[in-house]
Structure 1
Amino acid sequence: MVIEKSNSAEPFVKWAGGKRQLLPEIMKYIPDKINNYYEPFIGGGAVFFNIKCNHPIINDFNRELINSYMVVKNDVENLINLLKIHENNNSKEYYYKLRSWDRTNSIENKSNTERAARFIYLNKTGFNGLFRVNSQEQFNVPYGRYKHPSIVNVENLRKASLYLNNSEATILNGDYYNAIKKAKKGDFVYLDPPYAPLTQDRESFVGYTINGFGKDQQIRLRNVFDELTNKGVYAMLSNSKVPLIENLYEKYKNTTKIVSAKRNINSNTSGRGEVQELLIKNY
């Protein structure tokens, strides 16, 4: 399969570590011919939405995020209508009212489309565009200070829905390995996991899910990367330029690229501003 590296849609949510500004570098190194495309840490999906291919497989551990992808694919017009209601009612009080759904368990009685509209609304109006949950899996990001937040982009949501349907994308929710374990020689896997922390005196940003993604998970991911390499799968991975990651992927240093990115969405100020990242390839 020849993939077309051109924009069909843009991410419909903000996401910490999103790849929009690094797209020129990332797209430059994606093979022109692949069999199947996998992205098991989809997040905002900047890379995914910037290519055109048939039958891509995407995944994330975040249930509410993946529900939103499913709703954008299957019920985009009702989603747009609900987002317009949220946009018209946006206020600090309204934000906390919707945020409280997972504290009162009323979220369990909401439809998938209602949950997706809430998720996107909170994402667009919450502080710094963060997604963070506490130990009870309750969304706990405070209201942001935006004068005119862009809550509903009708054109982009429809374009995203069209691509998800036309490409016949498979959308999964679970552990990343389950999403890529069937990858074969000639397939391409792009891995964009939660990053290793920039400093050793603080924990990595683990609010993305309650499980976190610490050193042991980074080691496991390196082992999976080696497994993909041994199977002849094209694999590319983004991560922080820190000793832990450089040491783990030492054998790939000759095909590793250093890129710079400005990070404004982060749980800690030391992760904002211009930082160096690694683009690790096995080809």
Structure 2
Amino acid sequence: MPNSQSIHIPVTTSPTLFPILGTQKPFLKWAGGKSQMINDLLKFAPNDFDKYIEPFIGGGALYFSLNHSNCIISDLNEELVITYKQVKENVHEILGILSTYQNSETFFYQIRSLEAKKLSEVERAARLIYLNKTCFNGLYRVNKKGEFNVPYGKRTGLFYNSETLLRASEYLQNTEIYHLDYKETLKRFAAKGDFIFLDPPYQPVGKYSDFKRYTKEFFYEKDQIELANLFQELTYKGCYVMLTNSDHPFILDLYKDFHIEIIETKRLISSNPNTRTGKDIIVLGGL
């Protein structure tokens, strides 16, 4: 395994499809988002790769920072995938809908109570962006029925940024977007020379852990083991693989044969200030 100095890449040398846009910020705030870890993640990105694959896309902080010309993103969260596709294809319609929305508690609960599957896809995208930007701490959480159940965040002011959404739409144009399980995504598309970033639901690290599954399904220890096995298979295939997770003994043991970096982080989603610190790990395979 090369040391961190030998694989460091200055951010300015990342492959560039959109030289005018440069690095794009995520348009959603997502539980477990990687914005605060971007410098650490970019430090360990490969110098050159064929395509970028991120099958737990979430807010897409690393995806938006890499600025690569050949990307595949996917997620098991149907609402999230629909939103990415609609931002790519119908961003002006989304902005038109958002311009009619109000940042108020009454309106928030009216929108939250809507049944997503009865809406058009562009309406579903606008609804998710609105709820994400006006709910408590930007946390996407659903109950066992798959219904969004986060309360109103009581923040005032504009809840969306037109420029961010327009730039994200342009950024997404040459990206393939799929509603797939991560295993199916990697089975279909992963090939030798690809860079794959895996950001699964984290292994809980304590009673007050803020790592929550953002679909109605859960990620158990058996799922972490299955993912670790696939991580190894991908490295054997010749992929460059980077994975993030919690600094948990179980996870550290799963990846003990790979290079691991431990990063101090803040848990911005947590409602308890005393639990807003922690450690993330970055696991490197084939790098």
With the length of structure 1 as denominator, give the TM-score of the two structures: 0.90
Does 2:190 align with 1:183? yes
Q: CA deviation at 1:184?
A: 1.5
Change (3 A) 1:63 1:51: same
Work out whether residues 24 and 167 of structure 2, in 8 Å CA contact, stay in contact via their aligned partners in 1: yes
Change (3 A) 1:33 1:207: closer
Give unpaired runs (5+ residues) of structure 1: none
Does 2:11 align with 1:3? no
Q: What is the SS of the residue equivalent to 1:218?
A: helix
Percent identity over the alignment is 41
Q: What code does the residue aligned with 1:264 have?
A: L
| Matches of 1:81 and 1:8, distance apart in 2 | 25
The residue aligned with 1:100 is: 113
Count residues in correspondence: 269
Match of 1:259 among 255, 260, 263: 263
Match of 1:12 among 27, 41, 50: 27
Work out whether residues 205 and 212 of structure 1, in 8 Å CA contact, stay in contact via their aligned partners in 2: no
Work out whether residues 74 and 182 of structure 2, in 8 Å CA contact, stay in contact via their aligned partners in 1: yes
Match of 1:224 among 225, 230, 253: 230
Q: CA deviation at 1:55?
A: 2.4
Q: CA deviation at 1:271?
A: 8.7
The residue aligned with 1:234 is: 240
Q: What is the SS of the residue equivalent to 1:275?
A: strand
Q: CA deviation at 1:128?
A: 1.5
Change (3 A) 1:210 1:231: same
Q: CA deviation at 1:143?
A: 0.7
Summarize the alignment of residues 30-41 of structure 1 with structure 2, pairs less than 5 Å apart.
Answer: 30-41=45-56
Match of 2:281 among 252, 260, 278: 278
The residue aligned with 2:168 is: 160
Give unpaired runs (5+ residues) of structure 2: 1-13
Q: CA deviation at 1:30?
A: 0.5
Match of 2:82 among 45, 67, 70: 67
Deviating beyond 2 angstroms after TM superposition, the runs of 4 or more aligned structure 1 residues are: 2-8, 201-207, 268-272
- 1:170-213 CA-to-partner distances (Å, cap 9, x unmatched) read 101120111112312111100011111012x5788444111111
- Considering only aligned residues, what root-mean-square deviation do their CA atoms show, in Å? 1.9
Work out whether residues 134 and 152 of structure 2, in 8 Å CA contact, stay in contact via their aligned partners in 1: yes
Work out whether residues 3 and 34 of structure 1, in 8 Å CA contact, stay in contact via their aligned partners in 2: no
Q: What is the SS of the residue equivalent to 1:158?
A: helix
Q: CA deviation at 1:114?
A: 0.7
| Matches of 1:242 and 1:278, distance apart in 2 | 9
Q: What code does the residue aligned with 2:97 have?
A: L
Work out whether residues 32 and 211 of structure 2, in 8 Å CA contact, stay in contact via their aligned partners in 1: no
Work out whether residues 49 and 195 of structure 2, in 8 Å CA contact, stay in contact via their aligned partners in 1: yes
Work out whether residues 73 and 164 of structure 1, in 8 Å CA contact, stay in contact via their aligned partners in 2: yes
The residue aligned with 2:119 is: 110
Q: CA deviation at 1:147?
A: 2.5
Work out whether residues 204 and 214 of structure 1, in 8 Å CA contact, stay in contact via their aligned partners in 2: no
